[in-house]
Amino acid sequence: MALSADELERYARHIVLREVGGPGQARLKAARVLIIGAGGIGSPALLYLAAAGVGTLAIVDDDKVALSNLHRQVIHATADVGRPKTESASLAIARLNPHVAVEAHAVRLDAGNATALVATHDVVLDGSDNFATRYLVSDACFFAKRPLVTAALGTFDATLTTLWAHEKSPDGKPYPTYRCLFPEPPPPGAVPACAEAGILGALAGVAGSLAALEAIRLIVGFGEGLTGKLLMIDARSMRFETLAYQWDPNNPLSGKNPTLRDLSSHGR
């Protein structure tokens, strides 16, 4: 996909990178990325994906901007309070990079719309704030055969990993699924909500930026990704650690005896 003169200047610092160059920037322009949630993770991820020149960004979020969002959801501004997050994010992206097309879906992701949304994009980035949505997104990506970058925030910690659950590793084993990493969601109430426990705003920026970087690496095709590896960030000690995890042959999605054949178990 050809780049205009304006785009060549805009992305000049990308293009001079050997690992990106003109072909890599063209791949970014041709890419379609689906972002689940325009919140703490989705906000910085959307800004950096837009700045990088990803051609189409689709945003799924049914929430409206609240004043308490603004210390971490940096794509929104004070004047956006009360506005749908998809609308606010779309306007911010248009200001940042007019070459990026935005598809706004002001809906809640569910079993009825997940497959169609995921299947029409090249990469999915999940910044949702609950396990039910994370399982739904990861299962939908498996069935649609799409790579997934998924990140999560705690109060002072964050995690990030990439899933190619529909592919096999060089040793012939399937790559792990989200269910291999987290076989079961935590018990209700075990993980307090953000409004109850709080969250360090700048940490969302770190995690969202890293999620955008991982998506960019997937699209361009450079570096060693986070497939089979969970990046863990501890903001208290400023420590980054990586935990390796593998395919679980007993997982219900891609195990030896799978029991999940579609998204019907998620309800509608």
Q: Tens-digit pLDDT profile for the chain (268 aa)? A: 789 999 999 999 999 999 999 999 999 999 999 999 999 999 999 999 999 999 999 999 999 999 999 999 999 999 999 999 999 999 999 999 999 999 999 999 999 999 999 999 999 999 998 999 999 999 999 999 999 999 999 999 999 999 999 999 888 899 999 999 999 887 776 666 666 778 999 999 999 999 999 999 999 999 988 999 999 999 999 999 999 999 999 999 999 999 999 998 886 5
Q: Would you say residue 2 lies in a domain?
A: no
Range of the domain at 116: 13-266
Q: Would you say residue 7 lies in a domain?
A: no
Residue 141 appears among annotated catalytic residues = no
Q: Percent of the chain having pLDDT more than 90? A: 89
Q: Which residue has the tokens 């055969």?
A: 145
**Is the Cα torsion angle 186, 239, 52, 177 positive or negative in sign?**
negative
DSSP per residue over 218-242, as a string?
Answer: HHHT-S---BTEEEEEETTTTEEEE
Q: Residue 86 in 3-state DSSP?
A: helix
Q: Would you say residue 8 lies in a domain?
A: no
What strand order describes the sheet that includes 123-126?
A: 101-105, 56-60, 32-36, 123-126, 148-153, 157-163, 229-234, 239-244
Q: Would you say residue 4 lies in a domain?
A: no
pTM of the model: 0.95
Question: Which stretches does DSSP call E strand in 13-138?
Answer: 32-36, 56-60, 101-105, 123-126
Q: Would you say residue 233 lies in a domain?
A: yes
Neighbours of 201 (CB within 10 A): 14
Q: To 5 degrees, how large is the angle CA 75–CA 160–CA 11?
A: 50
Number of domains present in the structure of the chain: 1
pLDDT of residue 197: 77
CATH of the domain at 151: 3.40.50.720
Q: Would you say residue 88 lies in a domain?
A: yes
In this predicted model, what pLDDT tens digit does every residue of 5-20 receive, in sequence order?
999 999 999 999 999 9
Q: Would you say residue 222 lies in a domain?
A: yes
Q: Would you say residue 1 lies in a domain?
A: no
Cα Rg of the chain (Å, integer): 18
| CA–CA distances in Å: residue 116 to residues 112, 121, 170, 222 | 8, 9, 30, 28
Which one of 77, 81, 194, 213 is the catalytic residue?
Answer: 194
